[in-house]
Amino acid sequence: MQLELDTKVIVLVAGFLLLWALGLGVVKYHQMSTSPDGTAHRYVDIAHRAALMYSFAALVLAVLAQFSAWAVAVDLIAASVVLVFFVAAVVSYTVHGFRRDTENQFVDPVPGTHLFMVSLIVGEIGGTAVLVAGFAAAQFGPS
């Protein structure tokens, strides 16, 4: 069975996120091994875990898209919104971890942080809901 374009793109991004997580694991190890208290910066740890979890979450999105009733373009747009926010979150965590500039990005947030978070919530839940609905329509709808 040939994968649709939406599924191919999502799986590729999942692979990218997994590679990114593995690279962050190296950074985490380096920070732990050179730190007096044996720990990596909080946001390096968060970035590492988030990239790992998002890589597997992206695979769930790929399955939902592959077996969806919606057009490839609809699924690709919905998944892309979710994936852009996954990547943006890991970028933010990675930057904070490398810069070691905060232990909590919400204590003194930069302008736009809360707007970004609301957009992330709507985008991730909305995009995933579109994919779940497409899957449900294809798999449980009238034949």
- 61: pLDDT strictly greater than 80: yes
Asked if pLDDT for residue 42 goes beyond 90, the answer is yes
Query: Angle at which helices 42-66 and 72-99 pack, to 10 degrees?
Result: 170
Backbone angles phi, psi at 108, to 5 degrees: -125, 75
Q: Is the pLDDT of residue 20 over 90?
A: yes
- The vertex-90 CA angle with 86 and 94, nearest 5°, equals 170
Gap between the Cα atoms of 96 and 113, Å rounded:
13
Q: Residue 48: pLDDT above 80?
A: yes
Report the C-alpha gap between 93 and 107 in whole angstroms: 15
The whole-angstrom distance between residue 9's C-alpha and the CA centroid of its chain comes to 14
Rounded to two decimals, the pTM is 0.94
- Of 114, 125, 129, the closest CA to residue 86 belongs to 125
pLDDT at 1 over 80: no
> CA 99 to CA 80: how far, in whole Å?
28
In this prediction, residue 76 has a pLDDT band, given cuts at 50, 70 and 90, of very high
Query: Which pLDDT score, from 0 to 100, does residue 52 have?
Result: 98
Question: Using CA atoms, how far apart are residues 1 and 65, in angstroms rounded to an integer?
Answer: 14
Distance of alpha carbon 19 from its chain centroid, rounded?
A: 13
